Amino acid sequence: MKTLLIKYKPVIRFIVTFLAVYGILTIGYNVYLNLSDGSKYYPDYLTNLVAQQTNEVLNGVGYNASVMPHPNEPSMKIIINGKFVATVIEGCNATSIVILFLSFIIAFAGKLKTTILYCFAGSIIIYAFNLVRIVILSIGLYHYPWQQEVLHKVIFPMLIYGIVFMLWMIWVNRFSKNVNTNE
């Protein structure tokens, strides 16, 4: 048993670190959500921010868009040209995806400065890509509402998780100190 633990020590360390970081960040995020009263920023600050930024981008690309609190659920309604097209819920703010990304990067850490910079840059890339994803999804739902299922549940999740996977591969192959080099 001891030889197996020694042999797989890097794998075990990765799994334990990943789960610990993921657990701590997820608990911290849930505490934030529970402390968010929604009185100033409904339903919570991050979700409201994503909705407002989506609105700004939609208006910036020529659509007459607005967002408003949904009366029956904790979300923000996206309206384009008077037509309700989508809701932005807590899960749309990309925080859970950023937590997943950060957990992997920290579990596969490189040099401290590089790890911190990559975590920061990767989080910004994911957030920005997610914002563009919501804008394009809203436009798609406005023009092709019958494609809602494939747009929302297949194409756009594939793209956002594809970006995260690509960032992970760049990290592992270029920056992580856990990569074996045969030089």
Q: Is 133 exposed, middle or buried (0-12, 13-18, 19+ CB in 10 A)?
A: buried
Is the whole-model pTM more than 0.85?
yes
Q: Are 148 and 141 in contact (CB under 8 A)?
A: yes
Q: Under a CB-based contact definition with an 8 Å cutoff, are residues 131 and 53 in contact? A: yes
pLDDT digits (tens, 9 = 90+) for 28-78: 999 998 887 767 788 899 999 999 999 999 999 999 999 999 888 889 999
**Span 84-140, pLDDT tens digits:** 999 999 888 999 999 999 999 999 988 999 999 999 999 999 999 999 999 999 999
32 contact partners, CB below 8 Å, separation of at least 6: 44
Separation in Å, CA 87 to CA 84, 143, 168: 8, 16, 29
Q: What ranges do the domains of the chain cover?
A: 2-41+90-174
Calpha distance 10→5 (Å, rounded): 9
